[in-house]
Structure formats: C-alpha cells, structure tokens
Structure 1
C-alpha cells in the first residue's frame, strides 16, 4: 500500500506491505471534543485556569510593580499558529493579569524554548505570536530565542541527585516570574509533549539535553510513549524540580491539552 506521511510542510510517500498497521492521529482513535474555538470562549476558559491554578497562588497574586517576567514559549514544531492558538490566547490572558497587578511592559521578555532545534526565526516568531503581540514586543528587543550552546547566557545549577547536569537559561533563572506556556499534544515518536519536558529540554544546555534525549534512555523497555513514569519522564521531572529549587520559586505553567489540529481540549495552570 502507498501511504503519505506528514513531512516538513508537506507530505512524503512510502510503499509499505499491505498488512501494515496504520494509525492516523485523530482518526483511528477520535480526539475528545475540543472547546468552542472562538476567541472570547478560549480567552475566558484560559483566564479561569490562570485565576484558579493548581498548587500555587494565581498569577495576579504573584505579580506586582517592579517584578520581572519571562514567558517561555514552545517553538513552531507543535502547538498551532491559528489566530486562536493556545500560545496567542494564553499569552494575552497572562499579560492582562500581569498589567492589572502593576507589572510594566518593559519588565517582560519572551523566550522561545527551542532546545536543540534551530533558533526561532523572525518569521516564525511572527507566526507563533501573531502580528499584534509581535509588534508590541519585537521592536523593543523583548523577544528572543534560547541558544543551547551559549554557555555565557546559562546558569550552571550543578546536577540532579541522579547526576544529570542542569544548566538553564540565565534570563529565565534571573526573573521573578517565569511563565511556561505549554501544551500537551500527542506525537507519534515521543508520546506527549508538555509538563516538565518543556523546561528540561527547551531552555537548557546541550549537556543537560544529552542526559535524556539519547538512545540509552529512549530505547529502554520502559519508554512507552504515553508513560509518565519512564526513566525519560522521571529525568524531566527531576531536572525541572531542580531548577525550581535553585530559582527559589516554581514556574507558573499554563498548559493546554490540544487535539490533532492543535485546538484546545482543556486548559490547566499551576
């Protein structure tokens, strides 16, 4: 049989045996129903999540005049760039809460968390954020992209108890309120993105990433993509919690569960 696979911005064809098992995301197993996709509905659902986070105070209570904020934002690989994408909606909702609490625009930075992926291009930044957000912050040099090889802009936090090196982005480490804008979305090769995976892979040094994105971790018997307890997921958790311990405060996360088409199914903060 001939199958077409998503590849880059297009498709790649392959001829496979007729007895090949075929799994099509969102089709073989239908996605749960997504939230209404108009801006107001998604904004209100996101605001409800931000104001009722799990395990920590609401964002507005963390914020105050003079506080510095870094938004850590996933790169273009997943998450969608539609006008009502989680990144666009959640960033605007968070900004509104921060401004209401007295945070000034000059004290906000956007950091694309690309890990070992190529650094975000200006075109990609504009696609992800949208014209309005991009123009608000780009021309004042408040949008940048993480560089996992730039040791000068890292903070060396030693190692986890397991011995994995933890070096994280200095801008994120130094700020008062680090906000992780993330998404939990299935992918066919690695299970689900989101959670502590975001900070453990997106804003660290290549040495940190080399402790988990390697065959000896990813080719283990416990590497079931949807498992939350594999060695890989455990390492993500340990690295993320080590960062929080050394920063002296937790990340504020706003994660959306996304369907195959990057539409919000549910939104959770905390």
Structure 2
C-alpha cells in the first residue's frame, strides 16, 4: 500500500506484491530542531553579502516580496527574523508585497494564513500587474517592468522556497522579481524562453533563469532569504544573502536531497504533494514535468491531484479542448502564457497514457487530455495494457522531486 497526498488529506493505492516498484521520495532529511533558529543562522551568515541589518542602514524604506497562496513557502516563519534585522538597521517603513505574477487575487483568509501572527501588524499589498514601471531590457530582449512600489523602494528583499522548476530550473532567488512582481509583458517575454531545450528542471543555466537574474540586476535586489522544505513542509535548510550565490547554495542542497537518476518504468504514479501544489491542473502539471523522465514511451502516468480550483488559468482553459495536434502546432507558432501548459500536456499525452485522479467532473478532465478515473481503477487499466511484468515508479511528492534521465 502506497500513500499519496491528495489536497489536504491523502489517498492510498494497492499495487500487487508481485510487481517491481521503486518508491521515489526525498532523502529522509530531518527538519532542523528549530526552523526559526535555522533562519536566524542563515541571516547571521549571509552568502557573499553584508548582513541585512548593515544593508538596512543605507535606506529609509524596504519591501519584502513573499509568495502567494499557490506556494508552500513558510512566510510566517521567515518574516519575523527578517523584520528584526531591518529594524536593527533602523528601517521602520516596511511593506510586504504578495508576489502574484499573473495569479488571481487572494482572499483575506489566505493572506492571514500566509502572514500568521503578523497579519494586521505589518503593511501588506498585492502585486498589481498593471501598475509597473519600465527599468530597461535584458540581453535576451525581455522588457523589465516592475511593480511600482517595489521599483521605488530603497531596499528590495526576496523570499521564497527553492524547489525544482520545469523551465526555470529551480524556483526561489530572483524569481520573486520576475514573474512575481512584473508586468504581463515582461512575464510573457521571459516565459517564451522556455522553448529553449536548456529550459528544464534541475538546470542552473536555464535561459529563463539567466534572464530573470538580469532583470534582478536592473532593479537591484539587495538580499534574499530562501528555504528548502522536506515532504512535511518543514524547514530543513535556509540560505540568505546575494540573490545568485545564496540561491545556488540552496539549489545544491536540494540536489543532494531530491534529484534522482532513474531507469524509465512502464507505469508512474505521481502526486504533486498535496495542497497547495495540487490546487488546480495548472499547478499540478509541474509534477508531470518532474516525473516525465521516469516513464517509458508508450507507458502510463497516473497523476493524483485534487484540483479543487479546476483548471486554474483562463488562457490555459481556453486552449484546451482542441485536438492535441492543433494545440501543439498553435504553441509552435507563437508562445502564449497559459497556452504553453495545454501544449505541454497534449505533447506528453501523445507519448504516454495520462490518467488524472481528481475531484473534477470527467468532462473537465477529458478536455485537459487526461483519462478520468478513480485511483485503483486507473491502476487496473494501466495493468491491462502493460501486463504482468510491468515495472512501477511511485512519486508521492512529485512537485518537490526530480526524476532525472541519463
């Protein structure tokens, strides 16, 4: 019996004992005894940077960019030590900016959950994709247009979680600038670079990331604080300091914990890791990208994701429903943010059978190029295709792991 996160609960799958199963999950690295102390350790030992309290002496106001509700970042733990460092440098004018990118606005309850005890005690605003100022253009042609309150701040601090990302290589670092607090024009231009073959999970030289870091240089990111989490979303490592070097230190830690070489199997069962990674199909898709190297051509992938908020992106939804070839060709003719995920899922559905175990109606699932099924039923259908010598790979935390090919 294998347990898989599903929304805020979990589900189980029973694979007969005569089948060969490889369970892929992050190395069982224990959480640090005190997550706050780990954050304080990182802040006290910044990578290639002055301490934040010293940086704070050079400005009158600061913005701290934090993740929105679609990310598991432990913002409520990161903020108090960060704010203490700023106040030690005599900065009192502090604004927390929720980095929405092009995601939906958040509810007050979601903001309260993210900020914890600081809700109502610290000034906070949400990114507005239409209120951005132009700062320059990257060498790859991306116009850098940043949320005005961020661009106007004396001190810019980025927070986030470092995980594998299917085209940026890794999340975290300067990703809090682009896309999190950038205009739609900036986001679309940057994300179009995902068409480059080097734009894939686990690569630090992803053209998308290199473009993001050029944008960060234009605005002048002063400091970052990033965390690496285990499967229980506990902090196991933190890095702080320079927006490139501190990020690389966290990425190296993540590689040691969660990057695994695999021999492709016949059947892959993958969960993004539960809430909020499986909030919708748009977010759950990342687990497919992280697991696609684990399945043979002609194999079967069973995605276990609640998707309580449906498709999760209006453009993505508009692209769905056409036949797979049409969507793929449409994407090749020109990048469209949102449409890219429809094309990627359609492309994978040509190579393997895609099943989705979710809370969605069957017609919504089929429209997204998946076969709808309950978990055990999806397993039975896959076994009928692959027979008695089928090999399995099970990834309960596909949003946080990377199955790497040769």
TM over 0.5: yes
Q: CA deviation at 1:66?
A: 6.8
Q: Which residue of 1 aligns with 2:94?
A: 108
Q: Which residue of 2 aligns with 1:263?
A: 234
Deviates more, 1:196-205 or 1:232-241: 232-241
* Runs of 5+ consecutive residues of structure 2 not aligned to the other structure: 13-19, 242-406
**C-alpha RMSD over aligned residues:** 3.0
2:81 to 82, 90, 93: 93
Q: Which residue of 1 aligns with 2:42?
A: 49
Q: CA deviation at 1:112?
A: 0.1
Helix, strand or coil at the partner of 2:178: helix
Q: Against the structure 1 CA distance between its residues 22 and 165, is the aligned structure 2 distance closer, same or farther, given a 3 Å change threshold?
A: farther
Q: Which has the higher contact order (CA 8 A, sep 6+)?
A: 1
CA distance in 2, matches of 1:169, 1:147: 7
1:36 aligns with 2:17: no
Deviations 1:159-194 (A, max 9, x none): 112221100011111112111111102367865311
Q: CA deviation at 1:31?
A: 3.2
CA distance in 2, matches of 1:50, 1:198: 18
Q: Which residue of 1 aligns with 2:106?
A: 120
**Residue 51 of structure 1 contacts residue 58 of structure 1 at CA under 8 Å; is this kept in 2?**
yes
Helix, strand or coil at the partner of 2:120: helix
Q: Against the structure 1 CA distance between its residues 230 and 88, is the aligned structure 2 distance closer, same or farther, given a 3 Å change threshold?
A: same
TM-score with structure 2 setting the length: 0.52
Q: Against the structure 1 CA distance between its residues 180 and 147, is the aligned structure 2 distance closer, same or farther, given a 3 Å change threshold?
A: same
Helix, strand or coil at the partner of 2:191: coil
Helix, strand or coil at the partner of 2:224: strand
Q: Which residue of 1 aligns with 2:120?
A: 135
Q: CA deviation at 1:261?
A: 2.8
Q: Which residue of 2 aligns with 1:16?
A: none
TM-score with structure 1 setting the length: 0.76
Q: Which residue of 2 aligns with 1:155?
A: 133
Q: CA deviation at 1:5?
A: 7.8
Helix, strand or coil at the partner of 2:118: helix
CA distance in 1, matches of 2:11, 2:56: 47
Q: CA deviation at 1:115?
A: 0.3
CA distance in 1, matches of 2:9, 2:183: 31
- Structure showing greater Rg: 2
1:196 aligns with 2:170: no
Deviations 1:55-91 (A, max 9, x none): 22101111239720111001111225xxxx3x11221
Helix, strand or coil at the partner of 1:200: coil
Q: Report how many residues are paired.
A: 234
Helix, strand or coil at the partner of 2:133: strand
Q: Which residue of 1 aligns with 2:147?
A: 169
Q: CA deviation at 1:9?
A: 5.9
Q: Which residue of 1 aligns with 2:206?
A: 230
CA distance in 2, matches of 1:172, 1:159: 17
Helix, strand or coil at the partner of 1:210: helix
Q: CA deviation at 1:95?
A: 1.3
CA distance in 2, matches of 1:22, 1:77: 31
Q: Against the structure 1 CA distance between its residues 222 and 43, is the aligned structure 2 distance closer, same or farther, given a 3 Å change threshold?
A: same
Deviations 1:100-140 (A, max 9, x none): 33222xx111100010111222111101111x200212xxx
**Residue 65 of structure 1 contacts residue 102 of structure 1 at CA under 8 Å; is this kept in 2?**
no
Helix, strand or coil at the partner of 2:144: strand
